[in-house]
């Protein structure tokens, strides 16, 4: 450490700062900010009319879901995309219909446990002070995930209706479960490193690892319930006709009602305008995944205009869009608005908060924190001016759980959309086929997978 001890905050600096506060325009707002909070004090009400929830193109809504006290947003957003498809295909009358998010959570946790232990074996020769090793042991069993991780789960395990595997206490309030399993896996990881150091054979290491996975399975059954192997699927269509499909398996259900390759049509497109991520190239993140032999994480980096164009075309075709963003920025939960003009902090506090999107990603100001679903867009003069967002925070936030997002908020804080390849240009489709460039595990593009 080379910081000079003589460079502390001096009395003269404090005196100057106090005088600056007394003469600052922010001084006038200080009492209101202290009493009511900064957002209530500076709310720009003139921005609200433009965020009225009316859209030129909108998908017929279903009732919003609720991830409660868990970080399963990516699973909920994907399950929303899937349930809309099933609703439209089977003309399901029940707007409350959901696929089981708990079912996907169970298998995600088990696969993440295996992925972590395999990563420990892969890095066993590195010291415990290696940044990668420290990262792996610090980021165990988070609830978050990425689109390609979801595809891997569905391809391997299928999906089930929520009626076949409902929520439990710990699927809806996951912190304690995550902490217990993470501690167990840290102990297991340390043991595997010691076994590697004692020159155990690969067979011996895999045998011990499989015992650890079995122990993790038992824990997950206790917290989340045992996943069903067979179930009956029943629904009523919009004409009032009753249907029952008996003795389905999770895989047969998925393949019958979606098609084995349904999710293969979708790809992840990001907007990360940073120096080391030029547009038109594909990227992956080291040690990011769940299913070892599943679909690799892969992103195509494009300008934000390309993301908006593809997303709007998919919505206008009647299909929702899974997307990842930094949801906490310029967000009003009560009103259900995401808009950069909503809170004029700079003007009110007389400071500059200007940062480009690339700088925000590079220096920790922004990253992907939440996945949601785009279900509407307002097109004016061939341009998307605002978006309808289906969240997974229940119906007590926003307008019955739905949010309105401005075009500028999309540009600044949406970093990822998942769209069908056919909604991209031929050039961009070709670019996606490139071999991806590897990013470090802590890159902000992978941050959504580490949300607890």
**CA–CA gap between residue 246 and residue 197 (Å, rounded):** 52
Q: In angstroms, rounded to a whole number, what is the distance separating the alpha carbons of residues 295 and 289?
A: 9
Residue 142 to residue 449: CA distance in whole angstroms: 7
Reported as a pLDDT band with limits 50, 70 and 90, residue 6 is confident
Work out the average pLDDT over 29-44: 95
The catalytic position among 216, 290, 391, 450 is 391
The Cα-based distances of 205 to 188, 200, 216 in angstroms read 11, 6, 17
Q: How confident is the model at residue 1 (pLDDT cuts 50, 70, 90)?
A: low
Classify residue 393 by its DSSP letter.
Answer: B
Among positive and negative, which fits the CA dihedral 289, 293, 295, 296? positive
Whether 281 is a known active-site residue: answer no
Joined together, the tokens standing for residue 330 give 């310029």
Q: Is 391 a catalytic residue?
A: yes
Q: What is the dihedral of CA 222, 227, 230, 234, to 10 degrees?
A: 100
Taking only the tens place, the pLDDT of each residue in 190-201 is 999 999 999 999
The reply to whether 73 belongs to the active site is yes
**What mean pLDDT, rounded, does the chain reach?**
97
> What pLDDT does residue 77 have?
99
pLDDT of 350 strictly over 70? yes
3-state helix, strand, coil in the chain (%, to 5): 45, 15, 35
Distance CA 153, CA 71 (A): 17
> For position 339, what pLDDT does the model report?
99
HEC assignment per residue over 376-391:
EEEEECCEEEEEEEEC
- Mean pLDDT within 270-285: 98
Q: What is the pLDDT of residues 212-239, one digit of tens each?
A: 999 999 999 999 999 999 999 999 999 9
pLDDT tens-digit readout, 354-399: 999 999 999 999 999 999 999 999 999 999 999 999 999 999 999 9
Q: For 60-99, what is each residue's pLDDT tens digit?
A: 999 999 999 999 999 999 999 999 999 999 999 999 999 9
SS3 (DSSP) at 369: coil
Structure tokens at 255: 């393949």
pLDDT at 265 over 80: yes
The pLDDT, as a whole number, for residue 450 is 84
The one-character DSSP state at 329 is T
pLDDT digits (tens, 9 = 90+) for 172-196: 999 999 999 999 999 999 999 999 9
Q: Which of 73, 216, 367, 415 is catalytic?
A: 73
At residue 452, the pLDDT reads 64
Q: Spell out a b/e string for 149-167, using b for 16 or more CB atoms within 10 Å of the CB, else e.
A: bbbbbbbbbbbbbbebbeb
Q: For the chain, how big is the Rg over CA atoms in Å?
A: 24
Condensed to tens digits (0 to 9), the pLDDT of residues 96-149 reads 999 999 999 999 999 999 999 999 999 999 999 999 999 999 999 999 999 999
Query: What's the CATH architecture for 51-87+98-450?
Result: Alpha-Beta Complex (3.90)
Active-site position among 66, 370, 415, 450: 370
Rounded CA-CA distance 114/98 in Å is 28
pLDDT in tens, 302-344: 999 999 999 999 999 999 999 999 999 999 999 999 999 999 9
Residue 328 and residue 369 in contact, taking contact as beta carbons nearer than 8 Å: yes
Report the distance separating Cα 233 and Cα 49, nearest Å. Answer: 44
Q: Quick one: pLDDT at residue 25?
A: 79
Predicted TM-score of the model (pTM): 0.97
Cβ atoms 206, 214 nearer than 8 A: no
């Amino acid at each position: 450490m080379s910081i000079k001890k003589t460079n502390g905050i001096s009395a003269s600096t404090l005196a100057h700062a106090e005088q600056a506060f007394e003469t600052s325009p922010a001084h006038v707002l200080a009492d209101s900010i202290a009493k009511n909070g900064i957002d209530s004090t500076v709310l720009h009400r003139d921005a609200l009319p433009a965020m009225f929830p009316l859209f030129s193109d909108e998908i017929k809504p279903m009732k919003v879901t609720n991830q409660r006290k868990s970080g399963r947003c990516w699973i909920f957003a994907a399950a929303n995309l899937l349930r809309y498809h099933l609703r439209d295909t089977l003309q399901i009358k029940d707007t409350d219909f959901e696929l089981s998010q708990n079912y996907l959570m169970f298998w995600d946790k088990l696969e993440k446990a295996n992925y972590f232990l395999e990563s420990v074996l892969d890095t066993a020769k590195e010291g415990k002070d290696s940044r990668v090793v420290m990262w792996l042991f610090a980021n165990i069993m988070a609830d978050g995930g990425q689109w390609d991780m979801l595809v891997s789960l569905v391809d391997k395990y299928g999906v089930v209706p929520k009626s076949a595997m409902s929520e439990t206490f710990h699927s809806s309030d996951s912190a304690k479960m995550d902490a217990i399993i993470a501690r167990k896996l840290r102990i297991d990881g340390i043991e595997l490193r010691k076994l590697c150091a004692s020159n155990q054979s690969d067979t011996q290491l895999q045998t011990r690892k499989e015992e650890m996975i079995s122990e993790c399975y038992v824990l997950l059954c206790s917290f989340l319930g045992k996943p069903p192997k067979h179930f009956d699927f029943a629904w009523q269509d919009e004409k009032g006709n009753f249907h029952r499909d008996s003795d389905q398996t999770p895989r047969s259900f998925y393949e019958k009602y979606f098609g084995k390759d349904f999710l293969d049509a979708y790809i992840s497109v990001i907007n990360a305008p940073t120096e080391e991520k030029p547009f038109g190239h594909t990227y992956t993140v080291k040690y990011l995944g769940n299913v070892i032999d599943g679909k690799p994480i892969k992103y195509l980096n494009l300008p934000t205009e390309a993301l908006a164009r593809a997303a709007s075309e998919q919505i206008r075709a009647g299909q929702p869009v899974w997307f990842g963003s930094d949801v906490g920025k310029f967000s009003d939960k009560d009103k259900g608005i995401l808009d950069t003009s909503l809170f004029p902090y700079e003007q009110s506090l007389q400071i500059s908060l200007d940062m480009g999107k690339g700088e925000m990603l590079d220096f920790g100001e922004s990253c992907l924190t939440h996945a949601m679903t785009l279900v509407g867009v307002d097109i004016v003069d061939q341009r998307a001016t605002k978006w309808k967002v289906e969240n997974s925070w229940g119906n007590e936030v926003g307008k019955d759980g739905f949010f309105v997002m401005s075009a500028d908020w999309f540009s600044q804080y949406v970093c990822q959309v998942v769209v069908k390849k056919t909604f991209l240009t031929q050039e961009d489709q070709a670019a996606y086929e490139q071999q991806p460039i590897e990013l470090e595990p802590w890159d902000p593009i992978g941050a959504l997978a580490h949300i607890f």
